[in-house]
């Protein structure tokens, strides 16, 4: 360590002599350093980056004459985020380092170090107030794209980088050091894009909730793009299913009344590239697009409309006009008798469909909670396929393609071992080798329901069958509502392994920003659900509701194939609005945009909005047209 800081001091002296020092910056806003970020040696031990913060005193290097190490353990900073052992895409461009400062420290140096890297970013404490309005006492530092580039360019596919924080008091009498976290960078950049549902803004801007946002991972801009957002419209868009080529979408549209029943929901077949709708009254349900094209999609029969049961079936639709074909009905399979089929996913090569066979939750009654005074009994009896229990995962072969595709005889892939187990939300990997899904085991209604289940954990199983494997590293720990896993589009290589990224929603803490892991916090449910059958749409949003966020983890398919947990620890996707609730990330190969027009939220005073949008006469911004 002494040699490292001696080299740094020598570099400072040389830099000053050559008048080559970069500009100062603070808190990840702007960038400087002692070398050109495009220089391949920049940020290495022989050519380190030291970025001071503007207006701060110089952080002392180690070596002769420097302050001694602090002896009081209470002065030591404590790293909180990023997670230890995480694997990150090299093109993510931004990440936050969050830490507790330790007693009396006022200036900090965040170090990224290994045999190939020496990057030190200095900062004051950028105080963190969490999304519940609580001052955490912690500090935040966001690496901007240039800071990120110093570290990622030398370490893509390489050894872990150790992250530590050092702190000093204003008197600079001693230097305190933190715990360390190791982060690694994947070999290949992450490509493709996601569309996700931003539902509730806790402290956010009115009019931005209930909509679909998207992020193109090939675009270095770390901000998301609003795609279908309600603005001042009294509508909510949440459920959405994309073709893998990114050209077509099926989405669910509802009034913004805080319920989730499918009885008053309608689904739309939408052309992403042109912003137009072919059909606006599709039957509600879960959808899956065929292979890697957009010729056909299948949907579950989502709304039972008062019926006690529905035959186990999936309905095909053509992808151009949304015309329904003859339902694929599996009544001949005795094990599916009396069950519903939901959550379909169609393999990329078009040869297999995976689905959940399940039982809708019905006949839920409470003694009180309804009526004008809240003293009348409540009843939930929707029988849709949003709230289901005791599911198992099935597969069915496909023959033919396009609108001539037919489904064969289903066989079970993962069977629930007891009435308290629920296996659901299957997704097939892009190479067709592995199915990731949710498993929840519980004894209460909330812990048996497929919707917002606090016990939901990520599992994986070979598509050819076998024993499911818990993705323990990605799951983090029990009770985190790790829900709706979906694979990124492409298999990549990392240290001789085939890896794919998986996104999912989770109610774990995001560092110090989003506080969920507390006994007083709980998952909340809309007022038309088995957990809350009151139908009271006017009740206020409980401040102790957990706040789901989208997380992502790398998965080694090779380790899963050998029976091991192939997951890495998960990280928070940094483009989200952390004051919102974010769910249902759906991947596409590429994000389709319209050229030479203004997107949602952009100014339309003199420029034209894209197809499918309208120019608000008051705000002069482009708004979505939601059908």
pLDDT at residue 22 above 60? Answer: no
49-51/117-123 β-pairing:
parallel
Q: pTM, whole model, 2 decimals?
A: 0.92
Closest to 182 in 3D by CA, of 110, 116, 114, 93? 114
Backbone angles phi, psi at 168, to 5 degrees: -135, 150
CA–CA gap between residue 580 and residue 225 (Å, rounded): 15
pLDDT at residue 94 above 50? Answer: yes
pLDDT at residue 357 above 90? Answer: yes
Mean pLDDT of 145-159: 93
Mean pLDDT of 306-323: 84
**What domains are defined for the chain?**
2-185 (2.60.40.10), 193-588 (2.120.10.30), 594-627 (no CATH)
Whose structure tokens read 């033919």?
400
- Per the prediction, the chain carries an average pLDDT of 89
Q: How confident is the model at residue 372 (pLDDT cuts 50, 70, 90)?
A: confident
DSSP 431-460: TSSEEEEEEEE-SSHHHH-SSS-TT-EEEE
- The 10s digit of each residue's pLDDT in 43-81 is 999 999 999 998 898 898 877 778 999 999 999 999 999
Residue 143 in tokens: 């690496």
């Amino acid at each position: 360590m002494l040699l490292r800081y001696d080299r740094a001091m020598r570099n400072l002296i040389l830099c000053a002599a050559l008048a080559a020092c970069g500009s100062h910056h603070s808190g990840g806003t702007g960038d400087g350093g002692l070398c050109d970020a495009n220089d391949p040696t920049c940020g290495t031990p022989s050519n380190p980056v030291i970025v001071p913060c503007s207006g701060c005193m110089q952080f002392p290097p180690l070596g002769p004459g420097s302050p001694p190490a602090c002896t009081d353990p209470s002065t030591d900073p404590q790293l909180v985020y990023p997670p230890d052992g995480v694997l990150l895409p090299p093109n993510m461009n931004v990440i936050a380092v969050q830490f507790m400062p330790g007693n009396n420290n006022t200036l900090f140096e965040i170090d990224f170090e290994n045999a190939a890297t020496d990057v030190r970013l200095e900062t004051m404490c950028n105080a963190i107030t969490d999304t519940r309005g609580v001052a955490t006492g912690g500090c935040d530092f966001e690496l901007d794209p240039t800071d990120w580039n110093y570290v990622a360019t030398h370490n893509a596919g390489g050894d872990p980088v150790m992250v530590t924080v050092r702190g000093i008091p204003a008197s600079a009498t001693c230097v305190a050091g933190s715990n360390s976290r190791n982060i690694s960078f994947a070999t290949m950049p992450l490509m493709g894009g996601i569309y996700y549902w931003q539902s509730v803004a806790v402290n956010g801007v009115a009019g931005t909730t209930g909509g679909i946002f998207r992020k193109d991972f090939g675009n270095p801009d770390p901000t998301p793009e609003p795609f279908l957002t309600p603005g001042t419209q009294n509508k909510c868009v949440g459920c959405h299913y994309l073709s893998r080529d990114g050209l077509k979408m099926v989405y669910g549209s509802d009034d913004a009344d805080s319920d989730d029943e499918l009885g008053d929901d309608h689904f739309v077949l939408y052309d992403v590239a042109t912003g137009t709708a072919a059909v606006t009254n599709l039957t509600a349900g879960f959808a899956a697009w065929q292979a890697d094209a957009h010729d056909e999609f299948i949907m579950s029969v989502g709304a039972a409309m008062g019926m006690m049961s529905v035959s186990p079936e999936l309905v095909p639709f053509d992808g151009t006009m949304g015309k329904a074909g003859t339902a694929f009905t599996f009544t001949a399979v005795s094990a599916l008798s009396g069950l519903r089929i939901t959550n379909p996913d169609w393999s990329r090569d078009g040869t297999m469909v995976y689905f959940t066979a399940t039982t809708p939750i019905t006949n839920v009654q409470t003694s009180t909670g309804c009526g004008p005074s809240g003293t009348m009994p409540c009843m939930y009896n929707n029988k849709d396929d949003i709230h289901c229990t005791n599911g198992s995962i099935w597969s069915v072969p496909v023959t033919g393609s396009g609108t001539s595709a037919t489904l064969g005889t289903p066989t079970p892939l993962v069977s629930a071992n007891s009435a308290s187990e629920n296996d659901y939300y299957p997704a097939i990997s892009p190479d067709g080798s592995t199915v990731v899904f949710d498993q929840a085991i519980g004894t209460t209604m909330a812990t048996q329901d497929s919707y917002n289940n606090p016990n939901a954990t990520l599992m994986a199983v070979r598509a050819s069958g076998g024993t499911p494997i818990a993705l323990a590293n990605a799951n983090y720990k029990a009770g985190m509502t790790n829900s709706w896993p979906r694979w990124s589009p492409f298999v990549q290589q990392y240290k001789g392994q085939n890896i794919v990224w998986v996104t999912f929603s989770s109610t774990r803490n995001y560092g110090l920003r989003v506080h969920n892991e507390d006994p007083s916090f709980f998952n909340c449910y809309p007022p038309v659900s088995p957990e809350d059958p009151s139908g009271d749409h006017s009740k206020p949003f409980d401040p102790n509701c957990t706040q789901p966020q989208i997380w992502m983890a790398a998965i080694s398919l090779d380790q899963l194939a050998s029976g091991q947990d192939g997951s890495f620890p998960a990280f928070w996707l940094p483009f989200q609005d952390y004051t919102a609730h974010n769910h249902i990330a759906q991947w596409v190969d590429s994000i389709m945009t319209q050229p030479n027009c203004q997107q949602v939220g952009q100014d339309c005073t003199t420029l034209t909005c894209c197809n499918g949008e309208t120019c608000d006469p008051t705000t002069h911004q482009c708004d979505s047209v939601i059908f």
